[in-house]
């Protein structure tokens, strides 16, 4: 599957935005319809999500893990989801650069694995659903930063 990519502009400068985006516990609170679990840290957080997709019912356990990065400029994450009969792993990279008074975030996400029932879902349906989730998560991040 082709990578997902895009960019976002935030009002915070890189030195203030990077620590937020580097915090897995913070990111778990930004997932729409997600319920963060206890024990989250800056490096790893788990939340339970009830996806609203016709091809996926029940709940998913989503684990966000920070893989690395250079302070104020880059970040890498792993997002693993597991539900009844399905799982996936996505790796995301972010590049932060100053933009006017704030920060431009250029991001790319690559689906590493799809297993179980997700393998049988048409790629176009997965792509459309993933684009909506990505947009919703970025909106969640923006709301939490205000």
Burial class for 37, CB neighbours closer than 10 Å (0-12, 13-18, 19+): middle
Look at the domain 4-145 and name its fold. Alpha-D-Glucose-1,6-Bisphosphate; Chain A, domain 4 (3.30.530)
Between CA 59 and CA 70 the distance in angstroms is 34
Q: Per-domain residue ranges for the chain?
A: 4-145
- Indicate the DSSP class of residue 58: S
- Report pTM: 0.89
Which range among 89-93, 97-101, 131-135, 139-143 shows the weakest confidence by mean pLDDT? 131-135
Query: Which tens digits make up the pLDDT trace of 67-100?
Result: 999 999 999 999 999 988 888 899 999 999 999 9
Closest CA to 63 of 102, 90, 32: 90
């Amino acid at each position: 599957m082709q990578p997902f990519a895009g960019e976002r502009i935030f009002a915070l400068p890189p030195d203030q935005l990077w620590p937020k985006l580097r915090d897995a516990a913070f990111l778990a609170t930004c997932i729409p319809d997600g319920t963060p679990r206890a024990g989250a840290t800056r490096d790893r957080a788990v939340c339970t999500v009830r996806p609203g997709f016709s091809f996926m019912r029940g709940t998913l356990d989503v684990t966000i893990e920070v893989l690395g990065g250079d302070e104020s400029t880059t970040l890498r994450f792993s997002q693993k989801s597991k539900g009844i009969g399905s799982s996936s792993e996505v790796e995301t990279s972010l590049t932060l650069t100053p933009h006017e008074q704030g920060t431009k975030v250029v991001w790319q996400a690559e689906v590493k694995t799809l297993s179980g029932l997700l393998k049988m879902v048409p790629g176009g349906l997965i792509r459309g659903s993933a684009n909506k989730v990505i947009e919703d998560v970025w909106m969640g991040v923006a709301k939490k930063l205000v």
